[in-house]
Amino acid sequence: MPESTWKKVDEYAVQLLSLSDRTLDAALADSDAGGLPQINVAPNQGKFLEVLAASHRSKRILEIGTLGGYSTIWLARALPPDGQLISLELEEHHAQVARKNIDRAGFATQVEVRVGPAVASLRAMLDAGTERFDFIFIDADKESYPQYLELSLALSRTGTVIVADNVVRDGEVIDPKSKDERVQGVREFLARAAGEARLSGTVVQTVGSKGYDGFAIFLVS
């Protein structure tokens, strides 16, 4: 099946199910205008995250990798009025663009974007005794995924759902000799998750407007 068909099916689903709106489109437009890379989740993947978090009744959501706040907005839409989302981002400029997008989406009081290397931000949260999260979305630098898993677990409770994006990487994830450090990061992440007794989960391959990749989804016990 050619890639053009994957894209057409994405477009079909987005149109049929109304998976874009002014707020989301404006977030992408302003991310583009700000020079941010187009590495956000696709609209149908954003909705997938919203449905997952909402069906799980998540009140506290942690996101690792904000970019322009596109997936943040999708996840924030799953929150109840008293819910909270913290999103971690390395780049100050990305965070500035994201905050504007998040404010326009109506989530200024519920969403906080914290700037800095996510590993340091996560350790600071642990040191501060931050309340555990219900739902964690990992979508930052792939080399650090093994550390993100360890720290996410430390910030989880029984019943927390952890989702990680981009774990298939055009299928390269099955190559143990890959010289791509992002592939090795993802492989180590999955190997550690597989060996972690508190985690039960799976890998789901995805195709579409963002190419061939996949999500990992784990439930913490």
Ligand X SMILES: C[S@@+](CC[C@H](N)C(=O)[O-])C[C@H]1O[C@@H](n2cnc3c(N)ncnc32)[C@H](O)[C@@H]1O
Give me the residues that bind ligand X (CB under 6 A), please: 39-41, 65-67, 70-71, 88-91, 94, 117-118, 139-141, 144
Among all chains, which residue has been given the structure tokens 């993947």?
45
Among all chains, which residue has been given the structure tokens 């964690």?
136
By beta-carbon proximity to ligand X, the closer residue of 87 and 160 is: 87
Q: Where are the alpha helices (DSSP H) in the chain?
A: 3-16, 22-33, 43-55, 70-76, 92-104, 118-127, 145-154, 181-194
- Which residue type, as a one-letter code, is found at position 90? L
Q: How far is the CB of 89 from ligand X (least distance, A)?
A: 5
By beta-carbon proximity to ligand X, the closer residue of 66 and 156 is: 66
**Kind of pairing between the strands at 213-220 and 199-206:** antiparallel
Dist. CA 37–CA 103, nearest whole Å: 21
| Cα–Cα nearest to 155, from 137, 172, 168, 178 | 137
| Cα–Cα nearest to 167, from 198, 191, 151 | 191
Dist. CA 207–CA 125, nearest whole Å: 35
Q: How far is the CB of 210 from ligand X (least distance, A)?
A: 9
By beta-carbon proximity to ligand X, the closer residue of 1 and 68 is: 68
Q: How far is the CB of 134 from ligand X (least distance, A)?
A: 18
| Cα–Cα nearest to 163, from 214, 128, 90, 97 | 214
Q: How far is the CB of 144 from ligand X (least distance, A)?
A: 6
By beta-carbon proximity to ligand X, the closer residue of 103 and 158 is: 103
By beta-carbon proximity to ligand X, the closer residue of 82 and 105 is: 105
By beta-carbon proximity to ligand X, the closer residue of 22 and 198 is: 22
Q: How far is the CB of 9 from ligand X (least distance, A)?
A: 20
Q: How far is the CB of 208 from ligand X (least distance, A)?
A: 13
Q: Contact at 8 Å (CB) between 221 and 158?
A: yes
